[in-house]
C-alpha cells in the first residue's frame, strides 16, 4: 500500500497527525480512496453510500463513517447522470438554471427595460458557461410554493436566480437541495447570497460630478420604494457628505416616502436646492409644471435607472452585468456543490459607470472635495 493510502487509512481511523491531515487537503477523496481506507471493494463503497440493501447495515455505517472522516462530497452532476443511465433515460449533460420573478405580468423582460437587461445578461452568461436558463413566474395562475417546487424538480433545474422584484418576497422552498442567489434586497426571506449594483459608488459619483461643477446646495429626493430595494445605500453616503459641508449648504433629507407633486413643491421651496439627485420617475414632469428649466434653473442627476431618464445626466448600472454576475455566483455554488441556505450569505457589488447627459452645467468654482477614491 502506497504512502497516500496509508495516510488515508490513518485519517479514516483518527490516527493521522495535523501536518499529515494538511497534506490530505490536496488529495481528491474518491470511491477508490474510501475503499482502501475502509478495507472493502470500490463497488461495496458505491452500494453502501447509495443505501443499497444488498450491503449489510454494519458495512453501510462503517463506510459512511470513513467517508465522513475523509471529507468526501459526492459530485452532484455525476450523480444525476448516473441516475439517468440506471433509469434507462437519455443522458443530458447540459444543466438548467431557473430565473424566478414576481412581477405582475408574465414576461416583464419585454416591457421593463431594466429587468430586460438583467435577463439578457443572465441568459448570455448562462449560455457561455454551458447552461440553459428556464423562466419561472411566481404569480402564474394556480401557482403555489408547493407546485413551484414540483415544477423546479420536474424541469431538472439545478440552481435558481431571483432578480429584483417590484414588491417584497418571502419564499418557502426546499432550499436544502437548491442552490440559489438573489439580487438587491426585495427577497425578504430566506437570506441568500446576492448581487447588487454598487449604489454607494453611484451616490459618490453623483456628488463628485456636482461638486466639480460648482453646485453647493445639493438635495436628495429619495423614493420609498428605491430605499426598500437598496437598504439606505444612497442615503448613507449622502448623509456622510452633508457632515463635510457647511450647515448653510445642507438641504434637509426627508424620510423616504411616497412623493406627490405637492410634497415635492413644498420641499423644493423650503430647501432651495441648486441641484437634485432624483429617484422618482415623475420628478422631471413636476419640474416642468413648476416652470423650472433643467439645467438652467436647477441641475438634475439620476443615480439609478428611471424610465424617464432620457438625456439626463445619470449613473449607468449596466444591468446586463448584474445578471451575468448573478449567474457566475450561482454556477460557483454549483461547482462547489453548495446547496441549502448559506451559513454566511455573500454580497457581490457590480461597479457602475457615469453617463454624461445634458441636465447639468457649470454654476461656479468647483467645491474641492476628494471623492474620487470613494466613487
We report the CATH number of the domain holding residue 171 as: 3.40.50.2300
Q: Please, which pLDDT band fits residue 373 given cuts at 50, 70 and 90?
A: low
Structure-model confidence comparison of residues 85 and 190, the more confident one: 190
The verdict on 205 and 302 lying in the same domain is yes
Residue 260 and residue 92: Cα distance in Å, rounded? 54
Task: Give the neighbor-by-neighbor strand order of the sheet with 313-316.
Answer: 218-221, 275-278, 299-302, 313-316, 353-355
Q: Higher confidence at residue 206 or residue 83?
A: 206
Q: What are the Cα distances from residue 229, in Å, to 164, 167, 199, 232?
A: 8, 9, 11, 9
DSSP secondary structure letters along 66-91? HHHHHT----HHHHHHHHHHHTTPPP
pLDDT in tens, 146-160: 999 999 999 999 999
Q: What Cα–Cα distance (Å) separates residue 153 from each residue in 135, 148, 150, 177, 342?
A: 14, 9, 5, 10, 21
Residue 105 placed within a domain: yes
Phi (first) and psi of residue 283, to 5 degrees: -60, -45
44: domain CATH number?
1.10.260.40
Mean pLDDT of 51-78: 77
Per-residue pLDDT for 213 more than 90?
yes
pLDDT score of 53 more than 80: no
d(CA 58, CA 249): 77
Q: How many domains, in total, are found in the chain?
A: 3
Q: What is the CA radius of gyration of the chain?
A: 28
Q: State whether 123 and 207 are in the same domain.
A: no
Q: For the residues 277-297, what does the mean pLDDT come to?
A: 94
Same structural domain for residues 209 and 312?
yes
Average pLDDT over residues 49-55: 76
Local structure of residue 106 (DSSP, 8 states): S
pLDDT tens figures, 96-145 = 999 999 999 999 999 999 999 999 999 999 998 889 999 999 999 999 99
On whether both 187 and 160 belong to a single domain, the answer is yes
230 shares a domain with 147: no
Q: Which residue has the higher pLDDT, 80 or 178?
A: 178
Domain for residue 84, yes or no?
no
Q: Is residue 63 part of a domain?
A: yes
Give pLDDT tens digits for 330-349. Answer: 999 988 888 889 989 999 99
The whole-number pLDDT of residue 367 equals 87
pLDDT in tens, 245-280: 999 999 999 888 789 999 999 999 999 999 999 998
pLDDT confidence tier of residue 73, bands split at 50, 70 and 90: low
Q: Are residues 253 and 327 in the same domain?
A: no
pLDDT exceeds 90 at position 30: no
Query: For the chain, how many residues are written?
Result: 375
Residue 25 has pLDDT above 70, yes or no: no
* pLDDT tens-digit readout, 299-335: 999 998 877 678 899 999 999 999 999 999 999 998 8
| 332: exposed, middle or buried (Cβ count in 10 Å: 0-12, 13-18, 19+) | middle
Q: Is residue 89 part of a domain?
A: no
Instruction: Report yes or no on 217 lying in a domain.
Output: yes
Query: Is there a single domain that holds both residue 100 and residue 165?
Result: yes
As given in the structure block, the three cell numbers for residue 331 are 454556477
Query: With 90 as the cut, is the pLDDT of residue 93 above it?
Result: no
Question: How many whole angstroms separate alpha carbon 199 and alpha carbon 225?
Answer: 15
Same domain? 208 vs 310: yes
Domain span at residue 10 reads 3-72
User: Quick check: is 108 in a domain?
Assistant: yes
Considering only residues 300 and 76, tell me which one the structure prediction assigns the higher pLDDT.
Answer: 300
Residue 148 lies in a domain: yes
Least confident of 25-29, 221-225, 268-272, 365-369: 25-29
Could you tell me the pLDDT band of residue 66, with boundaries at 50, 70 and 90?
confident
Amino acid at each position: 500500500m502506497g504512502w497516500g493510502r496509508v495516510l488515508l487509512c490513518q485519517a479514516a481511523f483518527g490516527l493521522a497527525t495535523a501536518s499529515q491531515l494538511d497534506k490530505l487537503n490536496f488529495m481528491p477523496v474518491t470511491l477508490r480512496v474510501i475503499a482502501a481506507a475502509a478495507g472493502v471493494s470500490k463497488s461495496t463503497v458505491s452500494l453502501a453510500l447509495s443505501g443499497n440493501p444488498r450491503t449489510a447495515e454494519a458495512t453501510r455505517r462503517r463506510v459512511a463513517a470513513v467517508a465522513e472522516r475523509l471529507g468526501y462530497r459526492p459530485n452532484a452532476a455525476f450523480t444525476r447522470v448516473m441516475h439517468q443511465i440506471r433509469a434507462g433515460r437519455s443522458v443530458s449533460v447540459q444543466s438548467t438554471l431557473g430565473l424566478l420573478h414576481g412581477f405582475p405580468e408574465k414576461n416583464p423582460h419585454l416591457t421593463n427595460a431594466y429587468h430586460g437587461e438583467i435577463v439578457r445578461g443572465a441568459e448570455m452568461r448562462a449560455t457561455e458557461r454551458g447552461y440553459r436558463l428556464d423562466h419561472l413566474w411566481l404569480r402564474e395562475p394556480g401557482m403555489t410554493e408547493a407546485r413551484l417546487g414540483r415544477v423546479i424538480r420536474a424541469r431538472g433545474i439545478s440552481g435558481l436566480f431571483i432578480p429584483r422584484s417590484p414588491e417584497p418576497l418571502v419564499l418557502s422552498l426546499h432550499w436544502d437541495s437548491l442552490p440559489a442567489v438573489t439580487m438587491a434586497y426585495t427577497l425578504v426571506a430566506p437570506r441568500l447570497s446576492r448581487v447588487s449594483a454598487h449604489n454607494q459608488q453611484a451616490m459618490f459619483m453623483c456628488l463628485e460630478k456636482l461638486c466639480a461643477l460648482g453646485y453647493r446646495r445639493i438635495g436628495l429626493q429619495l423614493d420609498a420604494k428605491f430605499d426598500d430595494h437598496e437598504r439606505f445605500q444612497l442615503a448613507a453616503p449622502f448623509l456622510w457628505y452633508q457632515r463635510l459641508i457647511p450647515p448653510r449648504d445642507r438641504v434637509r433629507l426627508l424620510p423616504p416616502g411616497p412623493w406627490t407633486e405637492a410634497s415635492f413643491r413644498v420641499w423644493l421651496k423650503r430647501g432651495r436646492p441648486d441641484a437634485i439627485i432624483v429617484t422618482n420617475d415623475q420628478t422631471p414632469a413636476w419640474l416642468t409644471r413648476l416652470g423650472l428649466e433643467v439645467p438652467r434653473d436647477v441641475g438634475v442627476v439620476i443615480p439609478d435607472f428611471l424610465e424617464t431618464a432620457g438625456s439626463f445626466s445619470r449613473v449607468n448600472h449596466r444591468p446586463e452585468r448584474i445578471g451575468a454576475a448573478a449567474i457566475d455566483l450561482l454556477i460557483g455554488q454549483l461547482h462547489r456543490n453548495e446547496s441549502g441556505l448559506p451559513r454566511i450569505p455573500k454580497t457581490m457589488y457590480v461597479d457602475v459607470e457615469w453617463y454624461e447627459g445634458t441636465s447639468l452645467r457649470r454654476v461656479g468654482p468647483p467645491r474641492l472635495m476628494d471623492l474620487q477614491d470613494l466613487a
